[in-house]
């Protein structure tokens, strides 16, 4: 929508935008300010976010205790591996579904698409029993493996592959390239934006996933950031400066990632087929 | 999986699949030369899919007909006993009710605020990327971070909420401890946290709209409001349908933020159905009964999805 030449709409829109943004930033600003003060200053009453001298004491204490760093490492490991496995497996499957001719292709595809409807929470109870059966409770494998099945991503990628022109692939096939070769040298290079989009969404999802890692890990040494912080949340008690410092440390990686890939992430929403509808 | 949240950042399909390729060529033509028919590409996925999705779904159905328990070794088939018990369990009904209340009071603002944000950001004012970042940033925060921050804002004595009310000369509020307020506090947090995703969907849709219609209307002398109501909003209909449907499904699945913030309290007034499943299964050790409740919930999700599809189809 273009605002046009009138002054009034422009001023109204600008004001509304500033007010909304202020409301949205306020919790973050309040959290940052809290994390940078001493616990005593934080517990003084008053509306001002800054009630005393600035200090990095809370961050020092959090980092010294070390468990936040362990959880951050686990989060990177888990989210990284989930993303890698999901993207490789889903991309291959999507290509197979898009171009394959094997028997049962339609049925298997229909089952995959139907599985999009299944809420992950439905699987939690039986998956936990399955992990008990495999003796995997409290292992990285138990946290990671159930997260790598992403029928939605297969569907999105398959739709993209079907839209690619076949002539290029066929030219390579005629030249004697194997299917694997066609996939690696022709199809993948053409699919970088969609693969990037899928990777970003899988990574954000895995990084922020709470319920499953929470249920399947009891060992604090294996917990991801969201789970670890939840277990110590109550032990912060009235230590709000430390509580905010740990929250901000935990949110840093994705915020940095967003700043680096802002354009790509915004485009992802459109390219995954969500935007243009 | 969150509501809403990003955790299950499921990215669902927007439009119906594009038309199938005209020619059904494929590997088959070359099979004589020993070419792959593509099955091998799909195998790794099918294996994981079978083990970590199909099996649990099927196993869950079986469990829901047993008295399976974390505390017992032996499991006996109990027929429909779990389902019968669930339909007579007042906690199932109250947690379902809480889930529906949350869905209602979170979805409306999650759609309308997202739309308002996208329209404002798209209106041509300077600094697009900064507004975009401000609205989307909370979506990137893990649920625990969001709840830590809001626990602090909702702190009864020195938290921002009651300090603000105090400065305005009003009585403090028990944001998370007052039965009539807690669900609203959780909904407010959820809107702040996840509206960014819907906002991006709207923004992408707005940026994809052809500008010619808008320009033509402007040439004909239509003002900004008039063009908003008669040109832009009608063109966003499909996006709104998509956003609303996704949001309802996401809100029905609420668990994370409520579990961490209130554990369903005060007095069970914020406990959603998925938390009841968790309580029954992992605190009460009754996995069989928990499975039965989660399949009742799944049935509800399917009914709601089908109802939504029908409703919006008719509208079209």
Question: What is the mean predicted confidence (pLDDT) over B265-292?
Answer: 91
pLDDT band at B24 (very low <50, low <70, confident <90, very high): very low
Contact B2 A179 (CB under 8 A): no
Please write the tens of the pLDDT for every residue from A196-230.
888 888 998 899 898 899 999 999 899 999 899 88
B126 assigned to some structural domain: yes
Please write the tens of the pLDDT for every residue from A85-101.
999 999 999 999 999 88
CB proximity list for B11: less than 8 A, separation 6 or greater: A152, A153, A156, A198, A201, A272, A274
Percent of chain B having pLDDT more than 90? Answer: 41
pLDDT band at B35 (very low <50, low <70, confident <90, very high): low
Going by the DSSP 8-state scheme, the letter that residue B283 receives in this structure is I
B15 assigned to some structural domain: no
Partners of B77 in the β-ladder: B66
Contact A227 B144 (CB under 8 A): yes
Question: What is the mean predicted confidence (pLDDT) over B163-181?
Answer: 90
Q: Which two tokens stand for residue B159?
A: 């938290």
Please write the tens of the pLDDT for every residue from A230-241.
887 777 677 888
Asked if residue B217 lies in contact with residue B231, where contact means CB atoms within 8 angstroms, the answer is: yes
Sketch the domain layout of chain A as residue ranges.
Answer: 66-232
For A:152-181, CB contacts with B below 8 A are 152-156, 159, 162-163, 166, 170, 173, 178-180
B32/A contact by beta carbon, under 8 A: no
- Kindly tell me if the per-residue pLDDT of B6 is higher than 60: no
Helix H, strand E, coil C: the string for chain A is: CCCCCCHHHHHHHHHHHHHHHHHHHHHHHHHHHHHCCCHHHHCCCCCCCCCCCCCCHHHHHHHHHCHHHHHHHHHHHHHHHHHHHHHHHHHHHHHHHHHCCCCCHHHHHHHHHHHCCCCHHHHHHHHHHHHHHHCCCCCHHHHHHHHCCCHHHHHHHHHHHHHCCHHHHHHHHHCCCCHHHHHHHHHHHHCHHHHHHHHHHHHHHHHHCCHHHHHHCCCHHHCCHHHHHHHHCHHHCCCHHHHHHHHHHHHHHHHHHHHHCHHHHHHHHHHCCCCCC
Percent of chain A having pLDDT more than 90? Answer: 34
Going by the DSSP 8-state scheme, the letter that residue B178 receives in this structure is S
Distance from the A63 Cα atom to the nearest Cα atom in chain B, whole angstroms: 17
Going by the DSSP 8-state scheme, the letter that residue B266 receives in this structure is S
Which residues of chain A make contact with B255, given a CB cutoff of 8 A?
121, 211
B122 assigned to some structural domain: yes
Q: Which residue has the higher pLDDT, B6 or B132?
A: B132
Long-range contacts of B264-267 (CB under 8 A, 24+ apart): B264/B95, B265/B177, B265/B182, B266/B176, B266/B177, B266/B178, B266/B179, B266/B182, B267/B179
Supply the pLDDT for residue B238. 84
B207 assigned to some structural domain: yes
Question: What is the mean predicted confidence (pLDDT) over B84-99?
Answer: 94
* CATH architecture of the region A66-232: Orthogonal Bundle (1.10)
Question: What is the mean predicted confidence (pLDDT) over B205-209?
Answer: 84
Going by the DSSP 8-state scheme, the letter that residue B77 receives in this structure is B
Establish whether the linkage from the previous residue to B277 is cis, with ω within 30° of 0.
Answer: no
pLDDT band at B199 (very low <50, low <70, confident <90, very high): very high
d(CA A203, CA B1): 13
Supply the pLDDT for residue A13. 86
Partners of B66 in the β-ladder: B77
CATH of the domain at B157: 1.10.3720.10
Supply the pLDDT for residue A4. 58
| Ranges A202-206, B193-197, B225-229: which has the least confidence | B225-229
Determine the 3-state secondary structure of B127 from DSSP: coil
Supply the pLDDT for residue A270. 62
- Kindly tell me if the per-residue pLDDT of B19 is higher than 70: no
Residue-number span of the structural domain to which B110 is assigned: 89-315
B281 assigned to some structural domain: yes
Q: Which of A210, A213, A268 to mutate to test the interface with B (most CBs of B within 10 A)?
A: A210
Supply angle C-alpha A250, A252, A256, rounded to 5: 150
Closest Cβ opposite residue A93 in set B12, B41, B117: B41
Category of A52 on φ-ψ map: left (φ > 0), alpha (ψ -120 to 50) or beta? beta
d(CA A18, CA A145): 44
| Ranges A20-29, A42-51, B75-84, B160-169: which has the least confidence | A42-51
Determine the 3-state secondary structure of B305 from DSSP: helix
CA torsion sign for B122, B125, B128, B132 is negative
Domain total in chain B: 1
Phi, psi of A255 (to 5 degrees): -65, -45
Question: What is the mean predicted confidence (pLDDT) over A8-15?
Answer: 84
Please write the tens of the pLDDT for every residue from A91-145.
999 999 999 888 899 999 999 988 888 888 888 888 998 998 899 999 999 999 9
Q: What is the dihedral of CA B129, B130, B136, B137, to 10 degrees?
A: 130
B82 assigned to some structural domain: no
Asked if residue A48 lies in contact with residue A171, where contact means CB atoms within 8 angstroms, the answer is: no
Nearest CA among B277, B57, B281, B254 for reference residue A149: B57
Please write the tens of the pLDDT for every residue from B119-154.
999 887 888 888 888 998 898 898 889 999 999 899
Question: What is the mean predicted confidence (pLDDT) over B62-88?
Answer: 87
pLDDT band at B316 (very low <50, low <70, confident <90, very high): low
Q: What is the mean pLDDT of chain B?
A: 84
C-alpha of B225 from chain center: 31
B195 assigned to some structural domain: yes
Q: What is the mean pLDDT of chain A?
A: 86
Contact B45 A89 (CB under 8 A): yes
Supply the pLDDT for residue B34. 53
Closest Cβ opposite residue A270 in set B157, B204, B253: B204
Asked if residue B266 lies in contact with residue B182, where contact means CB atoms within 8 angstroms, the answer is: yes
Supply the pLDDT for residue B12. 43
Supply the pLDDT for residue B44. 96
Please name the helix (run of DSSP H) or strand (run of DSSP E) that holds residue B16, with its range, or none. none
Alpha helices (H) along chain B: 39-49, 55-63, 81-87, 90-122, 128-136, 143-153, 160-167, 182-208, 212-219, 224-227, 233-235, 237-252, 256-262, 273-278, 287-315
Supply the pLDDT for residue B23. 47
- Which range, A189-203, A254-268, B97-111, B134-148, is most confident? B97-111
d(CA A86, CA A66): 30
- Which range, A79-93, A154-168, B63-77, is most confident? A79-93
Q: Which residue has the higher pLDDT, B28 or A37?
A: A37
Supply the pLDDT for residue A3. 62
Count Cβ neighbours within 10 Å for each residue of A206-231 and write b for 16 or more, e otherwise. Answer: bbbbbbbbbbbbeeeebbbbbbbbbb
Q: Which residue has the higher pLDDT, B208 or B9?
A: B208
Q: Which residue has the higher pLDDT, A79 or A156?
A: A79
Supply the pLDDT for residue A269. 67
Q: What count of other Cβ atoms lies within 10 Å of the Cβ of residue A101?
A: 19
d(CA A206, CA B247): 20
Which residues of chain B make contact with A205, given a CB cutoff of 8 A?
6-10
B157 assigned to some structural domain: yes
- Kindly tell me if the per-residue pLDDT of A147 is higher than 60: yes
């Amino acid at each position: 929508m273009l605002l046009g030449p009138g002054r009034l709409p422009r001023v109204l829109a600008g004001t509304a935008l500033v007010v909304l943004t202020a409301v949205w930033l306020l919790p973050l600003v309040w959290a940052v300010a809290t994390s940078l003060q001493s616990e005593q200053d934080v517990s003084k009453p008053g509306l001002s976010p800054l009630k005393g001298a600035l200090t990095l004491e809370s961050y020092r204490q959090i980092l010294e205790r070390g468990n936040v760093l362990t959880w951050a490492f686990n989060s990177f490991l888990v989210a990284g591996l989930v993303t890698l496995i999901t993207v490789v497996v889903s991309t291959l499957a999507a290509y197979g579904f898009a171009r394959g001719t094997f028997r049962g292709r339609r049925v298997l595809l229909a089952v995959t698409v139907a599985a999009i409807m299944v809420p992950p929470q439905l699987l939690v109870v039986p998956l936990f029993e399955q992990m008990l059966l495999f003796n995997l409770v409290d292992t990285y494998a138990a946290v990671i493996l159930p997260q790598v099945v992403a029928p939605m991503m297969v569907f999105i990628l398959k739709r993209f592959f079907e839209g690619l022109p076949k002539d290029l692939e066929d030219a390579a096939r005629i030249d004697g390239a194997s299917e694997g070769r066609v996939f690696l040298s022709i199809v993948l290079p053409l699919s970088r934006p969609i693969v990037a989009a899928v990777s970003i969404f899988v990574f954000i999802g895995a990084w922020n996933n709470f319920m499953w890692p929470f249920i399947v890990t009891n060992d604090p040494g294996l917990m991801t950031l969201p789970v670890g912080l939840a277990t110590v949340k109550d032990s912060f008690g009235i230590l709000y400066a430390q509580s905010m410092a740990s929250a901000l440390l935990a949110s840093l990686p994705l915020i940095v990632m967003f700043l680096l890939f802002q354009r790509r992430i915004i485009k992802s929403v459109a390219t995954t087929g969500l935007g243009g509808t | 999986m969150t509501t809403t949240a990003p955790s299950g950042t499921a990215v669902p399909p927007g439009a119906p699949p594009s038309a199938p390729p005209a020619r059904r060529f494929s590997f088959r033509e070359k099979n004589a030369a020993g070419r792959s028919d593509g099955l091998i590409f799909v195998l790794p996925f099918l294996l994981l899919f079978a083990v970590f999705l199909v099996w649990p779904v099927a196993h869950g159905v079986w469990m829901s007909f047993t008295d399976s328990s974390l505390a017992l070794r032996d499991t006996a088939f109990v027929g429909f006993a779990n389902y019968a018990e669930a339909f007579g369990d007042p906690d199932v009904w109250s947690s379902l009710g809480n889930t529906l209340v949350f869905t209602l009071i979170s979805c409306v603002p999650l759609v309308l605020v997202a739309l308002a944000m996208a329209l404002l950001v798209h209106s041509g004012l300077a600094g697009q990327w900064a507004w975009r970042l401000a609205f989307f940033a909370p979506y990137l925060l893990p649920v625990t971070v969001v709840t830590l921050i809001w626990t602090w804002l909702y702190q009864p004595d020195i938290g921002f909420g009651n300090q603000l009310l105090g400065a305005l000369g009003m009585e403090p509020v028990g944001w998370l401890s007052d039965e009539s307020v807690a669900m609203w506090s959780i909904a407010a947090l959820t809107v702040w946290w996840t509206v960014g995703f819907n906002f991006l969907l709207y923004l992408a849709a707005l940026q994809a709209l052809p500008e010619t219609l808008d320009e033509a209307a402007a040439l004909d002398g239509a003002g900004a409001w008039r063009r908003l109501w008669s040109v832009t909003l009608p063109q966003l209909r499909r996006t709104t349908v998509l956003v609303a449907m996704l949001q309802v499904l996401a809100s029905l699945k609420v668990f994370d933020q409520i579990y961490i913030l209130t554990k369903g309290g005060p007095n069970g007034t914020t406990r959603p159905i998925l938390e009841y499943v968790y309580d029954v299964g992992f605190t009460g050790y009754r996995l069989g009964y928990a499975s039965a409740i989660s399949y009742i919930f799944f049935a509800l999700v399917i009914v709601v999805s089908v109802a939504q599809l029908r409703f919006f189809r008719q509208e079209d």
